[in-house]
């Protein structure tokens, strides 16, 4: 392809064929290191001889050299260790530590000579430490999901971290001079990151194969690159910064001046089909070392041209997509105008539900660098019910068409003001916009043209006013002209793609168009069905992996959606609007909840008891697929939470909770701090309700429109309320029951603040002002107002004394490294959310296989408080999974009264779970007076254990403490048990238990997918 060809310099075939987890060059380029199951191995370059083997007992997930090359650092579990390269010995202290698994590490040398280590964890935190200097550590609460990649610029001035969430805020860049990170959104998520050698550009590889290149100084996307197949696992600039190299299934190299492909390698050495291929760029030469098939290591000389060359047969294609939105109140004529613009027809529409999207060919263009510019037109429903859904789609507009009804004689522009506020970005700027008077054939506004133009100037509507009629075509050409000029002003987000991808795109869009316009064909297809359809075209692409990567690229641009069913099959939703529409319908249904709880029964939803128009005409399987996908979408975006209620699960939409708090309150409370939160605050309140509700320490006991309360112990509550909210601002007040211990308050406040830090918002904390004379707590709003006015005191409302005000504290993105308790709770909350998402898959599978929810009895040693608490949590988590649990404290609370009935119910339970502890074994043996129950249980278990294999399989021994021999009765000792002894693996084990109780194989794709969700800790 290029005039010089890449060349293989060295292939190391390792005896050990396991796949290395990571690879890194030493700073002097004479050796490279790999990490993996047996430890770290260091190889000489160019001979390929192994120079050093650093054996470890545990898996080493990541490897990096210290910038001077005296140490090699490796990530093992939650720690980062260092080995001296001279002695080969491990240092006796850890270099880094986090609450969750270490997921990525990077090192750099700052201009002042300090050598720094950056490492991230599955807990969403990023830590920055000086390797050899002070032991001070900066902890950045970067995300609420696990971090997938980190990078430091060569001079250590900037660093970045990312997570694989596909939609928003999946990249953050920090500067050495500021505590606040700049959050960005990479379509498709972050899997790998690198800085250019000058530190001004950052490249981000996604799990779906695309690469985004951004200017770090302003966050602007310079280019998106498509073509790699499967995730981009490593990414690097060449040392001179003139090329960018991506490792995925093959190797792609682009020129950074033209962004054309310089080289693409797919031969046997470049293949890395199995697992995640790792790669590292030589520190001073254009040499790449990478892992290949069967654990081998391959070194390539990339042999890149010195100047950009016109590559013959270059297949790079440039295109850009621009987003135009029609916004305005319901009934002003948005959809009708949309179909006039797109089809040049006057079509009657029903009031829009959710949103829809068209490709606007009339405005497509080709600009000077052969970039095809494509315009998509989004039509949003104007009815207020849909606003929750809209806020997810209004970002990144290149032009807004703000419609109002010209024939409305009274106050025609009132609606427009609302939409202008909605469109304003966090920095207060407006996207380019046109004010459009619609339905002009029915009347003209009672405002003069001059008044309307003035309105535009005052409200930042950049491209002025035009009067239109979709019916008569009046003003349509003028509107197109204004829109085109607004679009010309916005920078195109250019994507470079390959010929293959383009062919897939054209073919898929043709099929999509047929479904949309003519209603011919199905809106949901399996990937295989779609491949078959596409392959009847001449532009056939037979490689399923390339096809799927191309589909993912289409998904990133919003053309299609990809979902997978409980059996792990991938489906393509050709009309993603259907999913948004369904999401809107579900929200509308939840809003109708008779008790104002903003909730739905999950079972009603999945069993089809609501009729949703989006599901009309779909088969039962397709309906379920869509519902599961939408539920996962809601859970993933934290727009809803699952709560169990007996054997039922409820989907609760906190944003819809509109029940007011009853006036009377049984427990007196005291408020202790106020938070003024600005920025992207739309989901802050519901997300806090959800996240705090999922911690172990705080059980949500109640929630109302603006309040959420958590029970800590009997009569002890903590809570927070939303005291005011407006666009871009929310004020939250936290409180606890009077007289609760300080420790409880500190934990609650710590968690509350930590959840806030992880969002892209600005937070100021105002302490409570209490009078020094009469100790009267001052009205909170007065205190905030006075501080905002710059005053330093207030006058006590009770006794008139002067009270000095302390300045508000700004919550920055990082804290000192002293928050391990808070971290632990954070982690639990996050994994619990993942567990809930995993259950959606398991329950769908059980339902698809016609498995009824089993009833289950839990047998455990009574009388030990800690065990009882643990068992109760287990029972709650089983109920969440749809299992109906018989638990003594729930079902036999008046113990003694109906033991015989209870025991007969146990006898009919489908399953018995036995909680093995030394105490259990002892109770079983002694059969003392509290022993009636234990003895009866023992007998029932004994009967099952002496039956056939089917009968034995109904008993599930679970080991909570001790050795199997000391914790289970003899009959159970040889049985396979589920080991719950390590609390950090609770949710993974829970999954094992749930699948075995249901009798589902652990190898089912849905179970594997669920396990993946839990292990990666991401909700979707
Ligand atoms: N006479 C006339 N009627 C129009 C014109 N444009 C829209 N209408 C009518 O106005 C009504 C509302 O139009 P829609 O396009 O559905 O309005 P919308 O803004 O999309 O409304 P929502 O989807 O509810 O937000 C329909 O009855 C249309 O037929 C026009 O240019 N002239
Ligand atoms: Mg409409």
pLDDT tens for 356-385 read: 778 888 888 776 667 888 898 999 888 877
Ligand 1 pocket residue status of 333, Cβ below 6 Å: yes
Token pair in block for residue 491: 């920078």
* The pLDDT value given to residue 517: 74
pLDDT at res. 899: 61
pLDDT of residue 1018: 45
Choice between 326 and 1020, residue whose per-residue pLDDT is larger: 326
Which residues, at least 6 apart from 949, have a Cβ–Cβ distance to it below 8 Å?
Answer: none
Give pLDDT tens digits for 966-1008. 888 888 887 878 999 888 788 889 999 999 999 888 888 888 8
Q: How far apart are CA 195 and CA 197, in angstroms?
A: 6
Nearest-angstrom CA–CA distance, 814 and 808 = 17
pLDDT at 167 over 80: no
- CB distance 733 to ligand 1 below 6 Å: no
pTM beyond 0.95: no
pLDDT at 723 over 70: yes
Looking at the CA of residue 332, tell me the nearest atom of ligand 1.
19
Residue among 368, 376, 427, 371 at smallest CA distance from 399 = 376
Does 382 sit in the ligand 1 pocket, CB within 6 Å?
yes
Of 336, 381, 385, 406, the one to substitute when testing ligand 1's pocket (max ligand atoms within 8 A of C-beta) is: 336
Q: Dihedral of the CA atoms 770, 771, 774, 775 (nearest 10)?
A: 20
Evaluate whether 48 touches 38 at the Cβ level (below 8 Å): no
407 lines ligand 1 (CB under 6 A): no
Picking from 154, 149, 182, the residue whose alpha carbon sits closest to that of residue 165 is 149
pLDDT of 892 > 60? The answer is: no
Distance (angstroms) between ligand 1 centre and the Cα of 349 equals 7
- What does the pLDDT read at residue 2? 43
By CB atoms closer than 10 A (0-12, 13-18, 19+), residue 445 is buried
Nearest to 351 by CA among 366, 332, 369, 370: 332
- Distance from the alpha carbon of residue 1019 to the mean position of ligand 1, in angstroms: 39
Which residue has a Cα nearest atom 12 of ligand 1? 331
Q: Fill in the DSSP letter of residue 235.
A: E
Determine how many CB atoms are found less than 10 A away from the CB of residue 739: 10
- Output the pLDDT for position 1020: 35
CA Rg value for the chain: 31
Residue nearest to atom 21 of ligand 1 (CA): 331
**pLDDT grade for 461, boundaries at 50, 70 and 90:** very high
Give every CB contact of residue 552 below 8 A, 6+ residues apart in sequence: 188, 208, 209, 210, 562
Question: In this predicted structure, what is the pLDDT of residue 929?
Answer: 53
Question: Which tokens belong to 397?
Answer: 């507009």
Q: Is 470 close to ligand 1, i.e. is its CB under 6 Å away? A: yes
Strand 494-497 relative to strand 221-225: parallel, antiparallel, unpaired? parallel
392, two tokens = 């997810």
Grouping H, G, I as helix, E, B as strand and the rest as coil, residue 542 is coil
Nearest CA to ligand 1 atom 29: 348
Residue 942 exposed, middle or buried by CB count within 10 Å (0-12, 13-18, 19+): middle
Note whether 117 and 73 are within 8 A (CB): yes
Neighbours of 335 (CB within 10 A): 22
Question: What distance in Å separates the CA atoms of residue 583 and residue 605, rounded to the nearest whole number?
Answer: 12
Q: What's the whole-number mean pLDDT along residues 53-78?
A: 93
Mean pLDDT of 524-543: 74
The alpha carbon of 328 and the centre of ligand 1 are apart by a number of angstroms equal to 11
Whether 441 lines ligand 1, by a CB cut-off of 6 Å, is yes
Give residues with Cβ within 8 angstroms of 255, minimum separation 6: 242, 243, 262, 308
Give the integer Cα–Cα distance in Å for 558 and 910: 46
| pLDDT value of position 949 | 82
Q: How confident is the model at residue 43 (pLDDT cuts 50, 70, 90)?
A: very high
Cα gap 419→421, rounded to integer Å: 5
Q: Quote the DSSP letter at residue 44.
A: E
Mean pLDDT check: name the lowest of 155-159, 278-282, 289-293, 304-308.
304-308
588: Cβ–Cβ under 8 A, 6 or more apart, which residues?
385
Which bound ligand lies closest to the C-alpha atom of 348?
A: 1
Q: What is the spatial distance between Cα 326 and Cα 337, in angstroms, rounded to a whole number?
A: 9
Using CA atoms, how far apart are residues 65 and 85, in angstroms rounded to an integer?
A: 10
331 within ligand 1 shell (Cβ under 6 A):
yes
Tell me, what DSSP letter sits at residue 90?
B
**Over the stretch 633-679, which tens digit does the pLDDT of each residue have?**
777 666 777 766 555 677 888 777 666 666 666 678 888 889 999 87
Structural contact between residues 508 and 482, judged by C-beta atoms closer than 8 angstroms = no
Contact criterion met (CB below 8 Å) for 1006 and 567: yes
Provide the pLDDT confidence category of residue 54 given band limits of 50, 70 and 90. Answer: very high
Q: For residue 1, is pLDDT > 50?
A: no
Ligand 1 atom 5 nearest Cα: 439
User: Among candidates 950, 1008, 1019, 978, which has minimal Cα distance to 874?
Assistant: 978
The protein residue whose alpha carbon is closest to atom 14 in ligand 1 is 333
**What pLDDT, on a 0 to 100 scale, did the predictor assign at position 100?**
82
Longest CA–CA separation in the chain, Å: 95
Cross-strand pairs, 373: 320, 365
Would you say the C-alpha torsion 222, 226, 231, 237 has a positive or negative sign? negative
Neighbour count for residue 89 (Cβ, 10 Å): 10
Nearest to 581 by CA among 530, 624, 630: 630
584 lines ligand 1 (CB under 6 A): no
Give the Cα separation of 981 and 966 in Å (integer): 14
What residues have CB less than 8 Å from 794, skipping those under 6 apart?
A: 769, 778, 782, 783, 786, 802, 803, 805
Mention every residue, 6+ apart, whose C-beta is less than 8 A from residue 534.
504, 507, 508, 511, 540, 541, 547
- 598 near 591, Cβ under 8 Å? yes
As beta bridge partners, residue 956 has 913
Share of the chain above pLDDT 70, in %: 88
For residue 102, what are the contacts with CB-CB under 8 A and spacing of at least 6? 61, 62, 75, 76, 77, 78, 79, 80, 96, 119, 120, 121
Task: Please tell me if the CB atom of residue 716 comes closer than 6 angstroms to any atom of ligand 1.
Answer: no
pLDDT class of 896 with cuts at 50, 70, 90: very low
The closest-lying atom of ligand 1 relative to the alpha carbon of residue 338 is 15
Q: Which ligand neighbours the alpha carbon of 467 most closely?
A: 1
Task: Among the bound ligands, name the one nearest to the CA of residue 385.
Answer: 1
Give the mutation target among 332, 333, 347, 437 for probing the ligand 1 site: most ligand atoms within 8 A of CB: 333
Across all residues in the chain, what is the average pLDDT?
A: 84
Q: pLDDT grade, residue 780 (50/70/90)?
A: confident
Q: What pLDDT was estimated at residue 902?
A: 67
Over 80: is that where the pLDDT of 699 sits? no
Q: What is the pLDDT of residues 465-494, one digit of tens each?
A: 999 999 999 999 999 999 999 998 877 778
817-841 per-position pLDDT tens digit? 445 666 677 677 777 777 877 888 8
Structure tokens at 735: 């409180």
Per mean pLDDT, which of 442-456, 660-674, 849-863 is the most reliable?
A: 442-456
Secondary-structure breakdown of the chain: helix, strand, coil percentages, each rounded to the nearest 5: 30, 30, 40
Question: Does residue 229 carry a pLDDT above 70?
Answer: yes
**Is residue 893 very low, low, confident or very high in pLDDT (cuts 50, 70, 90)?**
very low
474 lines ligand 1 (CB under 6 A): no
Among 49-58, 171-180, 688-697, which is the least confidently predicted range?
A: 688-697
- Which-ligand-closest: CA of 415? 1
Q: Per residue in 263-285, pLDDT tens?
A: 888 777 777 555 678 999 999 99
How far apart (Å, rounded) are the C-alpha atoms in residues 123 and 831?
9
- Burial pattern 582-611, b for ≥16 Cβ within 10 A else e, equals bbbbbbbbbbebeeebbbbbbbebbeeebe
Q: Are the beta carbons of 1002 and 995 closer than 8 angstroms?
A: yes
**Low-confidence winner among 442-446, 865-869, 878-882, 910-914 (lowest mean pLDDT):** 865-869
Query: Which atom in ligand 1 lies closest to the alpha carbon of residue 380?
Result: 25
- Helices (H) then strands (E): counts for the chain: 25, 57
pLDDT of residue 819: 54
814-815, strands of its sheet edge to edge: 102-109, 115-121, 125-130, 137-141, 814-815
Verify whether ligand 1 is closer than 6 Å to residue 336 (CB atom). Answer: yes
Q: How far apart are CA 981 and CA 960, in angstroms?
A: 5
How far does the centroid of ligand 1 lie from the alpha carbon of residue 649, in Å? 40
- Phi then psi for residue 293, to 5 deg, are -65, 155
């Amino acid at each position: 392809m290029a005039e010089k060809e890449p060349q293989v310099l060295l292939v190391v075939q390792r005896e050990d064929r396991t796949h290395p987890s990571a690879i890194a060059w030493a700073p002097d380029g004479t050796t490279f290191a790999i990490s993996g199951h047996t430890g770290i191995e260091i190889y000489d370059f160019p001979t390929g001889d192994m120079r050093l083997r650093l054996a470890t007992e545990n898996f080493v997930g990541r490897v990096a050299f210290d910038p001077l090359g005296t140490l090699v650092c490796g990530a093992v579990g939650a720690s980062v260790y260092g080995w001296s390269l001279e002695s080969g010995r491990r240092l006796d202290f850890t270099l880094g530590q986090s609450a969750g698994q270490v997921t990525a590490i990077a090192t750099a040398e700052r201009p002042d000579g300090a050598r720094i280590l950056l490492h991230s964890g599955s807990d969403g935190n990023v830590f920055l430490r000086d390797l050899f200097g002070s032991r001070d550590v900066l902890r950045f609460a970067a995300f609420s999901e696990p971090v997938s990649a980190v990078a430091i610029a060569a001079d250590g001035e900037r660093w970045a971290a990312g997570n694989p969430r596909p939609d928003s805020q999946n990249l953050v860049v920090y500067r050495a001079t500021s505590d606040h990170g700049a959050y960005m959104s990479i379509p498709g998520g972050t899997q790998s990151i690198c800085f250019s050698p000058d530190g001004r550009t950052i490249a981000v590889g996604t799990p779906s194969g695309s690469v985004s290149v951004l200017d770090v100084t302003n966050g602007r996307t310079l280019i998106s690159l498509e073509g790699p197949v499967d995730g981009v696992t490593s990414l690097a600039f060449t040392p001179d910064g003139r090329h960018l190299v991506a490792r995925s299934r093959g190797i792609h190299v682009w020129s950074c001046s033209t962004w054309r492909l310089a080289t693409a390698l797919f031969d046997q050495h470049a293949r890395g089909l199995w697992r995640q291929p790792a790669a590292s760029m030589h520190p001073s030469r254009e040499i790449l070392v990478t892992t290949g098939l069967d654990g081998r290591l391959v070194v390539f000389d990339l042999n890149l041209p010195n100047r950009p060359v016109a590559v013959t047969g270059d297949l790079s294609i440039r295109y850009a997509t621009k987003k135009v939105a029609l916004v305005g109140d319901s009934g002003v004529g948005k959809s009708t105008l949309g179909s006039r613009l797109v089809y040049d027809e006057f079509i009657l529409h029903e009031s829009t539900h959710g949103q829809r999207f068209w490709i606007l060919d009339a405005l497509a263009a080709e600009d000077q660098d052969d970039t095809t510019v494509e315009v998509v037109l989004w039509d949003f429903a104007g009815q207020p019910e849909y606003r929750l859904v809209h806020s997810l789609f209004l970002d990144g507009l290149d032009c807004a068409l703000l419609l109002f009804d010209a024939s409305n004689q009274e106050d025609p522009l009132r609606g427009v003001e609302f939409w202008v506020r909605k469109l304003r970005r966090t920095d207060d700027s407006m996207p380019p916009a046109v004010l459009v008077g619609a339905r002009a054939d029915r009347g003209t506004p009672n405002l003069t043209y001059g008044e309307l133009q003035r309105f535009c100037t005052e409200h930042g509507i950049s491209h002025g006013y035009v009067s239109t009629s979709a019916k008569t075509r009046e003003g349509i050409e003028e509107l197109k002209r204004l829109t085109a000029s607004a679009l010309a002003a916005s920078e195109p987000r250019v994507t470079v793609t390959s010929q293959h991808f383009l062919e897939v795109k054209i073919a898929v869009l043709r099929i999509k168009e047929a479904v949309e316009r003519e209603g011919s064909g199905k809106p949901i297809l399996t990937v295989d069905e779609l491949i078959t359809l596409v392959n009847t075209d001449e532009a056939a692409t037979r490689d399923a992996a390339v096809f799927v990567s191309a589909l993912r690229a289409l998904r990133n641009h919003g053309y299609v959606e990809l979902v997978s069913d409980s059996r792990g099959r991938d489906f393509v939703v050709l009309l993603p609007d259907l999913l948004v529409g369904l999401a809107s319908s579900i929200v509308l249904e939840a809003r109708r909840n008779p008790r104002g709880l903003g909730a739905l029964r999950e079972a009603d939803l999945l069993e089809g008891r609501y009729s949703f128009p989006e599901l009309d005409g779909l088969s039962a399987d397709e309906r379920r697929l869509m519902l599961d996908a939408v539920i996962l979408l809601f859970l993933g975006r934290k727009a809803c939470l699952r709560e169990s209620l007996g054997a039922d699960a409820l989907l609760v939409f906190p944003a819809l909770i509109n029940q007011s708090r009853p006036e009377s309150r049984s427990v007196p409370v005291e408020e202790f701090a106020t938070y003024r939160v600005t920025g992207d605050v739309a989901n802050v309140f519901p997300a806090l309700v959800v996240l705090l509700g999922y911690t172990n320490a705080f059980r949500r006991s109640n929630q109302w429109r603006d309040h959420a309360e958590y029970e800590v112990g009997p009569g002890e509550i903590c809570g927070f309320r939303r005291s005011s909210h407006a666009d871009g601002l929310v004020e939250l007040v936290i409180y606890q029951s009077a007289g609760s211990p300080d420790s409880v308050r500190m934990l609650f406040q710590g968690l509350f603040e930590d959840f806030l830090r992880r969002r892209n918002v600005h937070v100021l904390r105002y302490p409570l002002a209490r009078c020094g004379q009469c100790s009267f707590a001052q009205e909170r709003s007065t205190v905030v107002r006075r501080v905002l006015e710059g005053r330093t005191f207030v006058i006590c409302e009770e006794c008139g004394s002067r009270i000095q005000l302390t300045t508000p504290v700004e919550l920055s993105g990082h804290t000192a490294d002293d928050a391990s308790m808070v971290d632990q709770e954070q982690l639990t909350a996050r994994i619990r959310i993942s567990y809930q998402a995993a259950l959606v898959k398991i329950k769908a599978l059980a339902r698809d296989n016609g498995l009824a929810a089993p009833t289950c009895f839990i047998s455990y040693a009574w009388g030990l408080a800690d065990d009882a608490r643990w068992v109760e949590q287990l029972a709650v988590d089983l109920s969440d999974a749809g299992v109906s649990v018989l638990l003594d404290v729930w079902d036999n609370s008046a113990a003694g009264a109906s033991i015989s009935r209870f025991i007969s119910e146990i006898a009919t339970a489908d399953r018995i779970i036995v909680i093995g502890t030394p105490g259990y074994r002892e109770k079983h043996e002694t059969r003392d007076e509290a022993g009636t129950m234990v003895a009866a249980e023992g007998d029932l278990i004994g009967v099952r254990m002496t039956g056939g294999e089917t009968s034995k399989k109904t008993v599930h021994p679970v080991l909570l403490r001790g050795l199997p021999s000391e914790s289970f009765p003899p009959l159970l000792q040889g049985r396979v048990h589920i080991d719950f002894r390590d609390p950090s693996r609770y949710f993974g084990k829970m999954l094992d238990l749930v699948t075995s109780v249901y009798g589902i194989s652990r190898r089912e794709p849905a179970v594997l997918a669920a396990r993946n969700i839990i292990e990666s800790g991401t909700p979707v």
